[in-house]
Amino acid sequence: MSTIDSRLSATQLAAFRDHLTEEPIEYDGLTANYDADEAIYHIETPDGKTSVAADELSTVAAEQAAYLTNWHFYTQQVGGEIVRAFCRWLELADERPVPNRYAALEDGIDREWGQLAITTTISDNGSRRYEIRHADDSDAAADALTTHTDPLDARDIGTLDADGRYRPLRTAPSLTAGWLFADLTANEVYEAVEAFYPATIVNWHREQRGELDVDHWRDEQDRQSGIYNLITVLPDEAVDWAAAACCDDSQCVKRREWELSEEESLTAAGGDGVFPCREPCSMVVAAGREWAKLEREDTQRYEFELTPSEKEQIETIIDAVADGTVDEIREADVSEPANRYRVRYLREKRFDEAGNLAGTPTHPEAHDEHADSGDTDH
């Protein structure tokens, strides 16, 4: 049976009548009111107008019934404005009128939220059900995934990555795959997403309403105390490097909306994430503190003897670490500059006993003083 042919349940009809006794309905293409003098319900949808008595309500045309079940779901079953807005986004509610949407929901409407793939489906009475899985598992058979029912399980799934390493940034694109929330209610899908990506829905909702409160880097600097006061001395250009290093789409699925200040933009890309990042996070602030310490050093001119291939090898090693591709390099692929054997060879060849690259001390003066002591100085 197609959901578009569904009829209103007794509960839905009662809720509809009760509501109209109090006030008219104007929701998502449905306009309805109750004429108490005539004991008649007037129902208008984009497809037509109907005026019926109470005992005829259950016989309204299928498309009008769809508008009624849609009203019932969103106003009587979904808790709160933010959950409602999120669920409407999940089913592309602003793009399709109710009958078309119901037809699409029969097959399921898919949206992605960070690394989450969320599918909305509908049952005969207009109730939506939600499925969440990792976007990488979009084509996986459900029985190949571990099924969860408690939305708060998302908190544990998101704690460690696929290699068992701690994910201090829950919006890092390192969410492990292989799990499935097969059948969630509207309120449960909200709680699961909140557990995977805390506060992202509420910030997205504020942004949708034009009310996102962005705190820029200078606001963050001004607010710090204790050990994080140090970020006040981080040079402006370093903030750009920090944003490019930490906030790129390859590192975080949020879309950075904070800049240096309201008037001073950063040149680093903010990313294409669905949901916004409204202020530098604690990871960026903690990293900024380290960089503030490091940026206090002056540059120094060093001389190294390296072959062209060795120079390029060092650059490739830095790329491999920065891009997280070290684990992809095959064990015996010594032609790959960041291969472990290749790097060990470079170390054997170019480091002296104290670990100095090409025998060049990091602090030449200190090196002279301690030349006989054998101290490492790097």
The residue count for binding other proteins (CB under 8 A) is 28
Strand pairing report for 48-52 and 109-113: unpaired
CB distance 367 to 376 below 8 Å: no
- Residue 162, interface with other proteins (CB under 8 A)? no
Angle, alpha carbons 361-367-372 (nearest 5°): 125
- Tokens of residue 31, six digits: 């306009």
Q: Where are the alpha helices (DSSP H) in 209-352?
A: 217-223, 236-246, 282-294, 308-322, 340-350
- Residue 46, interface with other proteins (CB under 8 A)? no
Q: Which of 24, 46, 48, 80 binds other proteins (CB under 8 A)?
A: 80
Map the footprint of other proteins across residues 315-344, applying CB under 8 A.
Answer: none
The number of beta carbons lying within 10 Å of the beta carbon of residue 336 is: 18
d(CA 219, CA 203): 18
By beta-carbon proximity to other proteins, the closer residue of 160 and 321 is 160
3-state secondary structure of 43: strand
The helix-helix angle for 186-196 and 81-90 (nearest 10°) equals 90
- Residue 279, interface with other proteins (CB under 8 A)? yes
By beta-carbon proximity to other proteins, the closer residue of 188 and 194 is 194
- Residue 212, interface with other proteins (CB under 8 A)? no
- Residue 281, interface with other proteins (CB under 8 A)? yes
- Residue 274, interface with other proteins (CB under 8 A)? no
Q: How far is the CB of 70 from other proteins (least distance, A)?
A: 23
Q: Which of 46, 168, 235, 359 binds other proteins (CB under 8 A)?
A: 168
CB distance 92 to 109 below 8 Å: yes
Q: Which of 55, 139, 163, 226 binds other proteins (CB under 8 A)?
A: 226
- Residue 286, interface with other proteins (CB under 8 A)? yes
- Residue 152, interface with other proteins (CB under 8 A)? yes
Q: How far is the CB of 265 from other proteins (least distance, A)?
A: 22
Question: Considering only 108-116, 120-128, 151-159, 321-329, which stretch makes contact with other proteins by CB under 8 A?
Answer: 151-159
d(CA 89, CA 205): 10
**What is residue 314's DSSP assignment?**
H
Find all residues with CB under 8 Å of 360, minimum gap 6, and list them: 302, 303, 304
Find all residues with CB under 8 Å of 110, minimum gap 6, and list them: 117, 118, 119, 138
- Residue 210, interface with other proteins (CB under 8 A)? no
Question: Considering only 90-98, 218-226, 265-273, 316-324, which stretch makes contact with other proteins by CB under 8 A?
Answer: 218-226
Q: How far is the CB of 294 from other proteins (least distance, A)?
A: 18
By beta-carbon proximity to other proteins, the closer residue of 4 and 83 is 83
- Residue 188, interface with other proteins (CB under 8 A)? no
Question: Considering only 25-33, 54-62, 166-174, 364-372, which stretch makes contact with other proteins by CB under 8 A?
Answer: 166-174
Angle, alpha carbons 33-36-38 (nearest 5°): 100
- Residue 155, interface with other proteins (CB under 8 A)? yes
Provide the residue count of the chain: 378
What is the contact surface with other proteins in residues (CB under 8 A)? Answer: 80, 82, 152, 155, 159-160, 166, 168-171, 194, 197-199, 202-203, 206, 215, 223, 225-226, 278-279, 281-283, 286
